[in-house]
Structure 1
Amino acid sequence: MKKILVPFILLLVLLISACSNGSEVKEDKNKKEAEAPKEEQSGTITYQSENGPIEVPANPQRVILLSGYTGNVISLGVNIVGVDVWSKNNPTFAEELKDVEEVSDESLEKIIELEPDLIIAGSTSKNIDKLSEIAPTVTYTWGKVDYLTQHIELGKLLNKENEAKEWVEGFKAQAEAAGEEIRAKIGEDATVTVIEGYDKQLYVFGDNWARGTEILYQSMKLKMPEKVKEMALKEGYYTLSAEVLPEFAGDYIVFSKYADADSSFQETETYKNIPAVKNNRVFEMEGNGASFTDPVTLEKQLAFFKESFLGN
């Protein structure tokens, strides 16, 4: 009798323990679900946009960009189904956008056909109300925050804030380290000027107008000539004539150059006699796509600057 009773008691104890553990697991699961935000349970999150809170997908699958933040979204690994013409024609994104449709804030029917679950636009975009009826639409004011903060904001919107912050910290460290190496080579007082020729106009840029200016002046802490500070730093850019370019030219020149732009000024004696030109210190950068400040573009520009200044 004892031989039968002992196994029976042991089996009973095991059954009670299993039921207790199962109940605890179920209670723990229910507790976690209750504590989780209702938005995440329903597949959405609430994003605090410039215009107030807006409910957006927690894991967007079909994003349309009308604003130029395309590279940010590519960097964060989110699927894109439609982009603005500038993004579509940007050679930096050619591979990633080869099967993506070109759209605008006026091609509403085409946007409807693409069935987006999130639209990202600029604050000056047209038809925001109509776009919002198609899918949650979030707008940004260009330049309202700095380029790195903007990437983190897009990370929040796409529910990838940690990934965005990780990229920002890594990029800052790389750019600052490259800046130290460049300054050690060219000298702490050496100056750099960023120019661009576009549509028969010549421009010089401050420290926050893309074309790599954020990297060169903010992260790398390279110096700009006094004339550039005076005329371009506040507004971000300044239009000038080729005749006065020598007044703005630093020890080094970064030239954001478009293949189809008028660059005949480079054949003039005025240009050829600029010290940076005579010393072979003009670095020509692909102009098409240089006006973006996203991770894909910035990484490309950082590699270009390291190669140009350091030869590596």
Structure 2
Amino acid sequence: MRVLILLLVTVVPLALVGVLVTVLARSGRGSRPENTPVATLVAARRHENVATALGLAGGLAAATALLALAGNGARLVPGPPGLAAALGPTAGALVHLLLHAVGERTWPRPVGAVRTAVLRRRTVREISGRHLTLVLVTSALLAVSLALFMLTADETGRAVPLLITSETAAAGVVGGASGPYPGAPYALPMLLGLALVLAATAWVLHLVARRPAVSGTLPEDDLELRRTSARRILGGVQLFVGGGAGAVLLVAGLALHNAEWSLAAWFAVPLGLVVAVVSLVVAAQAFAPGDPRPRREGTAVGTARP
């Protein structure tokens, strides 16, 4: 069973990369005789849909495989028990971003004797909008939470010490701890993974902003296509980062509750549920299909000859 799951972790994402490269390379050859704005925009939408589907599938496969490994007691990564599961959302986000990056690198180039393309440069902020803000807020919440959990963990970093109250003291309880708890052994690798995810997100969004324009389409249609790509990229990142943040807050909240940290527990558990649900809803909205039709027939400003 362990070997099978290990194969899923390594082979499935690599196979998806291979499929994505093959499919997108074929879709970008420009062998279609029709080269109207409608046809080019529909082809670009198809390219984006393939990258989105494989990116989401690959990310979910990687995250699920790590969770399954942890459930079977396997140690895929060195460290405390359950670290592989804690890093599952990070692995999912990175695979999701990797497959989107492959899709951006194989974006269809303009074809034809005379090629038209938008010459205006786009910025990451222009194509990302509120989705990027939500990802950054969720990431900051996760980082602050992990820092607080490191400060409140016991010397092992895997449990929270029992809070001695008048009731527990009257019952003769003088010490104890509750876990599992995301202290330093878990929080530090997760913070490093979060930094990698944010860096990879910035890189892939930069690829979207600077990729070749869709040949023959208006600037508004090209901008909308870039915004669709950015929305889906950030939707996947929100799903994994927000899901990971929600899981961390719930696990920590249960440990805090068992250790008599009642106020902290009542704050962490509802916050974790809200973050998880909001991230799921935002991701579902982000992956909604876009309209493949251009706003009106016409060509974009600027021309380029081969």
Band of TM-score, shorter chain:
under 0.3
Query: Which structure would you say has the larger Rg?
Result: 1
Q: Which has the higher contact order (CA 8 A, sep 6+)?
A: 2
More helix by percentage: 2
More strand by percentage: 1
